[in-house]
Amino acid sequence: MTTRDRMLDAAAHVMRTRGLARATTKEIAKAAGFSEAALYKHFADKTDLFLAVLKERAPSDLRNLLDELEAGRGDVRETLVGIVRAATAFYRETFPIAASIFSEPALLAAHREALKAHETGPQVVPQTLARYLEAERALGRLPAGVDARSAADLLLGACHYHAFLGFFTDSRTDPEALVATLWNGLG
Amino acid sequence: MTTRDRMLDAAAHVMRTRGLARATTKEIAKAAGFSEAALYKHFADKTDLFLAVLKERAPSDLRNLLDELEAGRGDVRETLVGIVRAATAFYRETFPIAASIFSEPALLAAHREALKAHETGPQVVPQTLARYLEAERALGRLPAGVDARSAADLLLGACHYHAFLGFFTDSRTDPEALVATLWNGLG
DNA sequence: TAGTGGTTGGTGAGCGTTCACCAACCACTA
DNA sequence: TAGTGGTTGGTGAACGCTCACCAACCACTA
């Protein structure tokens, strides 16, 4: 493991435990086992370090799961329940860091620029799920008129929302109930 | 308008524009038209000020709208579309401040304590919507087996999610499509 | 093969600035 | 005249970042 990797791991850890506002360069360097000055041999400044953490230390579990989805293989409802489970855990883990970017608008802007340059971002998650639902619809396993993107947003939105609420109260997601409600509809 | 009110307004404004990390007591005091020390005549410390902003300057549009909902009055679907519109705007406005609390775990913990003491919190929003849906179900305007809380979470979650995504990419909510998808279901 | 010079990646010390916060003081009013 | 609510002018601590310096390693040549 390279020095840079150890620094990124340490930074991610300190950001998670102390919060972005209290994640100091001194503490990150100490956690990585190096001097503070060494940080600046590998990263231009603190913002550069944080952007690198955001880009290189984001857990990819959910994205991998979605990428491996294949239409026609397995029951759609069961698949969705699995996705709800994974997404809830994923958002619960990533929310604190993702959210704390909002405390520094400059950092948010820089992050957005970086995402644009790499043509990626959090929206690829609902896009990928929508693509899967679209494929299932094409196979006739979902109603013809269904709006795949709306369905993806409803499902992932509920997970995201639960992760958020979970930091303020003790709320639990019931993946089966969620999927059943979306499946049956209100009409 | 009292001095305290002006200070709260100024703090809310600075928090929104500069971000929590760059919202200094000096700038807030200046924006309110007072000296920095005057802040400390009205608030014990910076955390106290921020908690007061969170409690007393949260826009209440959505909560009011939901509180005024009455079952049996008007078309359910149209009502839901209106709620989606209001919720999306609401979350878009409140997200930056709500999210930036995560940069300071101590502040988050204090906020959570304050919510617990007043027996309130963000979860009252889905609770209120669920209560409305429950009432509509009791009137036979929704299917008997529908899980009101899940439906509320799906709908509000999508709004919350869109507000979040909107800060990273240019995404737009289509309230009608969202409600239609939830209404018709996937099954 | 021993000496030379350059690069890489590290260190401890500390600079300049900013921050939250406060003591002392003061003007106004009940 | 006592209390309220404001001001000026600090203070110590903490922060990001830079500085001068150096050990280890490497390529090149006398």
Judge whether residue A104 contacts strand D, using its CB and a 7 Å cut-off: no
CATH code, residues A3-54? 1.10.10.60
DSSP B140-171: TSS-TT--HHHHHHHHHHHHHHHHHHHTTS--
Mean pLDDT of A137-164: 97
Has residue A1 got a pLDDT over 90?
no
Q: Band the pLDDT of A12: cuts 50, 70, 90.
A: very high
Average pLDDT, chain B: 96
**Architecture of the domain delimited by A59-184:** Orthogonal Bundle (1.10)
Summarize pLDDT for B90-138 with one digit per residue, the tens.
999 999 999 999 999 999 999 999 999 999 999 999 999 999 999 999 9
Distance CA A187, CA B151 (A): 12
Tracing tokens 């679907």 back to the chain, one arrives at B77
Q: Looking at residue B58, what DSSP letter applies? A: S
Query: Contact A126/B165, CB-based, under 8 Å?
Result: yes
Closest CB to A177 among B126, B147, B177: B147
Note the CATH number of domain B59-187: 1.10.357.10
Q: Does residue B8 carry a pLDDT above 90?
A: yes
Residue numbers in B near A153 (CB within 8 A) = 158, 161-162, 178
Structure-block tokens of residue A130: 């929508």
Say how far A39 CA is from D19 C1', in Å.
15
Q: Which CATH number fits domain B1-57: 2.60.120.380, 1.10.10.60, 3.90.550.10, 1.10.3680.10?
A: 1.10.10.60
Per-residue pLDDT for A173 more than 90? Answer: no
Say if residue A171's pLDDT is above 90: no
Q: What is the DSSP string of A119-182?
A: T--TTHHHHHHHHHHHHHHHTTSS-TT--HHHHHHHHHHHHHHHHHHHTTS-----HHHHHHHH
Structure tokens that stand for A22 in this block:
């209290």
Mean pLDDT across B62-76 = 94
Cross-chain CB nearest to B121 (options A103, A168, A177): A168
Rounded CA gap, B37 and B39, in Å? 5
Q: How far is the CA of B53 from the C1' of D17 (A)?
A: 33
Query: Which residue's CA lies closest to nucleotide D9 at its C1' atom?
Result: B37
Residue B153: how many other CB atoms lie within 10 Å: 28
Q: Gap from A36 CA to D9 C1', in Å?
A: 34
Residue in A with minimal Cα distance to B142: A186
Does the CB of A61 sit below 7 A from strand D? no
Q: For residue A180, which residues of chain B lie inside 8 Å, CB to CB?
A: 147, 150
Residue B170 pLDDT > 90: no
Query: Which residues in chain B (76-105) have CB-CB distances under 8 A to chain A?
Result: 76, 95-97, 99-105
Domain ranges of chain B: 1-57, 59-187
pLDDT number for residue A172: 85
Structure tokens at A34: 């190096």
User: Does position B81 have pLDDT exceeding 90, yes or no?
Assistant: yes
Query: Is residue A126 scored above 90 in pLDDT?
Result: yes
pTM over 0.90: yes
pLDDT at A13 exceeding the cut of 90:
yes
Closest by Cβ to A178, choosing from B100, B154, B181: B154
Q: Model confidence over A39-98: pLDDT tens digits?
A: 999 999 999 999 999 999 999 999 999 999 999 999 999 999 999 999 999 999 999 999
Query: For the complex shown, is ipTM > 0.90?
Result: yes
